[in-house]
Homo-oligomer: A and B are copies of this chain.
Amino acid sequence: MTAPIADTTDLLRRTPAVLSALLAGLPSAWTATPDVTDGWRPRDVVGHLISAEIDDWMPRVRRILEDGPGTPFEPFDRFAHVERDAEVPMDDLLDRFAALREENLAALASLVRDDDVERRGMHPTLGEVTLGELLATWAVHDLDHVAQIFAGLAGSHDADVGPWKAYLGILLRRDDPSAVPD
């Protein structure tokens, strides 16, 4: 990456707009289905992204800048949303995520320069990591989970496409991850 902070920030800034364009006001006929059996519905994914804005990305950036690899990151609770967001309407989750993301990108811009990307931190399981790797992971984590939302939306209409399912990998992979469309 030649301009890692600008490059990453450009992608991160888009995610709230992408989620709102996709999900705000969308009928529950589309949004009530998880990506896979025992997986996450779109609202669960948005809740998880909110948790990561609160407890993961910027706390770890600050830990690297303040302590380096001497103090490991706090473990991150991947299921913090389950109780916290159970009664929160989808559109409120989208607004909350957008506000947190905006705050965090402002904090990132004020704290980090491109020549900080080689600074090191300690992941509690993965060992030594760099600030640049943390920032790239923030963006790819967005992409991973937003793609998961598409699988849930598609799954809600699995029974409606009839024989076309044979051509739709996003449906086939919900049943068998290695499935290949005809």
Contacts and interface: CB of A to CB of B under 8 A. Distances in A.
Contacts of A168: 137, 140-141, 144
Interface stretch (A20-28, A63-71, A103-111): A20-28
A169 B177 CA distance: 11
Interface residues of A, number: 51
Contacts of A154: 140, 143-144, 147
A88 interface: no
Given A17-B21, A143-B153, 6 more contacts: A1-B160, A10-B26, A129-B163, A129-B164, A143-B154, A144-B171
Interface of A: 1-2, 4, 7, 10-11, 14, 17-18, 21-22, 26-27, 29-30, 123, 126-127, 129-130, 132-134, 136-137, 139-141, 143-144, 146-147, 150-151, 153-154, 157, 160-164, 166, 168-171, 173, 177-178, 180
